[in-house]
Structure 1
Amino acid sequence: MTNAIDRDYAAAAALDGVLSRRMLAFVIDYALVCLLLLPAAVLVFILGVLTLGLAFYLFPVLFFVVAGLYFALSLSSRSQATPGMRVMDLTLVSDSGFRTDFMTGLLHVILFWVLNSFLTPFILLVGLFTNRKRLLHDIALGTVLMRASRLDAPRF
Structure 2
Amino acid sequence: MTDTYQQDGQNLDHAFDGVLTRRVLAFVIDYMLIAVLLVPAWVILFFFSILTLGLGFMLYPVSFFIVAGLYFALTLSSERQATPGMQVMDLTMERDDGRRIDFSIAVVHVIAFWVINSLLTPFLLLAGLFTSRKRLIHDMLLGTCMMRASATYR
Normalising by structure 2, report the TM-score. 0.92
Give the equivalent residue in structure 1 for 2:137. 136
What is the rounded CA distance, in whole Å, between the counterparts of 2:61 and 2:112 in structure 1?
A: 20
1:63-90 deviation per Cα after TM superposition (whole angstroms, max 9, x unaligned): 0000000000000000000000000000
Amino acid across the alignment from 1:15: F
1:10 Cα deviation (Å)?
3.5
Pairing 1:1-156 to 2, within 5 Å after superposition: 10-152=11-153
Unaligned runs of 5+ in 1: none
CA displacement 1:110-153 (0-9 Å, x = unmatched): 0000001110121000000001100000000000101001104x
Aligned residue identity for 1:136: I
Give 3-state SS (helix, strand or coil) of 2:122's partner: helix
SS in 2 for 1:125: helix
Q: Name the CA distance, whole Å, in 1 between partners of 2:29 and 2:136.
A: 19
State how far apart, in whole Å, the 1-side matches of 2:11 and 2:150 are: 12
Structure 1: how far apart are the matches of 2:67 and 2:122? 22
Give aligned pairs, total.
148
